[in-house]
A and B are shown apart, each in its own frame.
Chain A
Amino acid sequence: MADETTATSAPGGHSSGGDRPSGGDRPSGGDRPDRGERRPPRPGGPGGPGGREGGRKYFRRKKVCKFCVEKIEAINYKDVRLLAQFVAESGKIVPRRLTGVCTPHQRRLSCAIKQARNIALLPFAGRAS
């Protein structure tokens, strides 16, 4: 027990000083090395991403940009099926923090969606038929 307390004090100093993004450590300070059951499992984060703000601001699971992975270069306003994946039921464009698209692709995507809306391939509001 004595060595536990001495062991916790030292790493406690490290973790707060370091810039590791492992969340949940700071508030309860120092229970990191031994008590694994208190820390939420970081990689994978089941049901983690997307607006869970109960104080556990751990790193969201790595979402990859679909366009970067599949190397889709041309985002055309004509392929409605591709665009409709990034449009909500209400017809709104889904923000990139939910879809994981990277910024340049999101910009091109939203431009294409707006063009498709103008030519009546996608609705402005309401369900995409």
Chain B
Amino acid sequence: MARTYEVNRVYELMFIVRPDMVEEEQDKLISTLESAVSSSGGKVKSMERMGKRRLAYTVRRFHDGIYILLTVEGGGALIHELERRLRVTEPVIKFLTVRIDEEQKRLDKIKKLREARRKPAPAPAPAETGGETAAVTA
């Protein structure tokens, strides 16, 4: 039987690559991951290169690292696969996966509450002024 739950979990995967990795190798790695995502039925929402940063502590004898952030939508098995790949990839020195869809839901709810609280009155007003100006010009 296929998945019974709706696979719309959003994960944020941040990983650190060795600082001496070249641009094209990074692109190769990222495209490998992206193809793994799409082959498992997931979706890559965004990819961000955060650049070279100084690490807060030494990781595998490196003091700097290139941070890459990947936002993926998919199921847990997809993340399992991605992490497995990252573990065997030699240039990747650290990774962290965070699930963010619940947090997004909460933030959206708060935002909606704030919007609702802020605009009960002004909402009809712009419509009126727009109608008036249209009447004047016509």
Binding site for A on B (CB under 8 A): 14, 16, 53-57, 59, 65, 69, 94-96, 98, 103, 107, 110
Contact = CB atoms under 8 A, between A and B. Distances in A.
Contacts of B103: 74
Interface of A: 73-74, 77-78, 115, 117-124, 126, 128-129
Contact of A122 (B14, B56, B98): B56
Chain B contact surface mostly: strand
8 contacts: A73-B110, A74-B103, A115-B98, A121-B56, A123-B56, A123-B57, A126-B57, A129-B54
Contact of A120 (B56, B98, B107): B56
A117 B56 contact: yes
A121 B56 CA distance: 6
Nearest to A129: B54
A119 B55 CA distance: 9
A92 to B, nearest CB: 14
A15 to B, nearest CB: 42
